[in-house]
Amino acid sequence: LAIMLSFVLSPLVNILQRLRLSRAPAVIVAVLATLGVIGLIGTLIGSQAAALSANAPQYARTIEAKVEGIQGYTVTSIAAVTRMFGRGKHQPHSGEPTATVLAPASQGTVLATGDARQPVLVEVAPEEASPVTIAQTILAPIVGPLETTFIVLVVTIFVLLQKEDLRDRFIRVFGSNDLHRTTLAMDDAGQRLSNYFLSQLLVNMGFGIGIGIGLWAIGLPSPAMWGILAGLLRFVPYIGSFIAAIAPMALGAAIDPGWTVTIYVALLFLVVEPLTGYVIEPMLYGHSTGLSPVSVLISAVFWTWLWGPIGLIMSTPLTLCLVVLGRHVESLEFFDVLLGDRPALSPVETFYQRILANNPDEALVQAEQFLTDRPIVDYYDEVVLAGLRLAAEDDARGTLDHSRSLQMIRSMTEVIDDLRDHAAKDQTAPAIVTAP
């Protein structure tokens, strides 16, 4: 968390330094400004929560009425189903004798009241709590979060103060012999992380504002508080938005005798979340993280299993750092191959692999993707002929038998026949492509 916060505050520190502030005052001002914003948000949430608590008894009565209605409907439905399935059962006739079972008297039944003793009034005096006990009761729930917050702030301040020194030490550890490559890796990682955090901040702020305005239009109490919580919870990948929708939906059920408000709140989240995730985010920063969708999902599962909720929040930044290392450190290239969004194979290798695996349909799909912005002559020259060279090299090494070569020729011929329409549009395309 401290490292993530330092990346978020680093641009602000740089701006303050450009305003003639030295490093230490700029860091202190940035941290204090962040604490001020957090305190302002907390005050706003607390005031609106207090306003909600004033109407809590009324909300409780509405919820109780709805629960009783649901219970009554459920009991009625179960009784109807039971009667339906019990119609064919044997019913006793009026002439049949029925057995009467008398319940025995309980052991505690008093048969005679003449000797009953009068109850004695007993009063239990509560023990007076000491000031230390009261303080422990009040402070115990908040000591843990305060400790974590204090540690995060201290580490963030020291990371910001020692930014250049830490960068030099990382360069020394990861490759002082190749300063060019190490510097590129550091710059790439810093740029990608900064873009990611800034984009997430802007997107989640917009998400919270949209939710707040929508809840205000619906008529839900304290819409600003729910909008802020929705924006904050959206930093939790995949499940944050759904968690943020639970409380407003419950409040909608509490203020409305029917279910209209609850349905409107659910529809609001179902519209705003996909719009944000699938339209606004790709338009804002596209694939700037450099991670494939599958790697984002797998990394979220792995880091959550390893570190819990904190791992879920940090899963994308941590995986992004691994991908950047894989792009610039040869021994760690497998991270970029497995987790990055760049194609694992070149177009030539992809074409040759599809033909080698007797999969002309996938080779044709690759060709159509290539031909969206390139002429077919380039596809033949840069992909097909280069793939044939790979096949010739394998044949020269003796790795291709006769049956596999015939199979490759058939697959390649099928692809070329399917591309005749593209060849007809491009008069400069070669008419014949021979296979070895």
213: exposed, middle or buried (Cβ count in 10 Å: 0-12, 13-18, 19+):
middle
Average pLDDT over every residue of 206-212: 93
CA 303 to chain centre: 12
Q: 23 vs 115, which has greater pLDDT?
A: 23
Q: Is 319 within 8 Å of 298 (Cβ atoms)?
A: no
Average pLDDT over every residue of 320-348: 80
At 30-80, the pLDDT tens digits run 999 988 988 888 888 888 888 777 777 777 777 777 676 666 667 676 767
Domain ranges of the chain: 2-47+161-285, 293-339, 347-425
- Going by C-alpha positions, the residue among 12, 58, 15 that lies closest to residue 33 is 12
At 83-115, the pLDDT tens digits run 676 655 555 554 445 444 444 444 444 444 445
- Banded model confidence at residue 207, pLDDT cuts 50, 70, 90: very high
Per the structure block, which two tokens stand in for 74? 């459920």
Three-class SS of residue 340?
strand
The residues, ordered by sequence, that sit 6+ positions from 85 with a Cβ below 8 Å of its Cβ are: none
pLDDT value for 208: 93
Over the chain, what is the mean pLDDT? 77
pTM for the whole structure: 0.65
pLDDT value for 216: 93
At 25-44, the pLDDT tens digits run 989 999 999 889 888 888 88
Average pLDDT over every residue of 317-341: 80
**Beta-bridge partner residues of 291:** 340
Q: Is 9 within 8 Å of 156 (Cβ atoms)?
A: yes
Give the domain 347-425 fold.
Answer: 1.10.1240
Q: CA distances (Å), 202 to each of 197, 281, 364, in order?
A: 9, 10, 41
- Banded model confidence at residue 125, pLDDT cuts 50, 70, 90: low
pLDDT value for 202: 86
Q: 66 vs 228, which has greater pLDDT?
A: 228
Q: 107 vs 303, which has greater pLDDT?
A: 303
At 230-266, the pLDDT tens digits run 998 888 877 888 899 999 998 888 887 888 888 999 9
pLDDT value for 4: 76
Q: 195 vs 431, which has greater pLDDT?
A: 195
At 153-182, the pLDDT tens digits run 888 888 888 888 887 787 777 666 667 777
Average pLDDT over every residue of 284-298: 71
| DSSP letter assigned to residue 96 | S
pLDDT value for 278: 78
Three-class SS of residue 291?
strand
Which amino acid, residue 15?
A: I
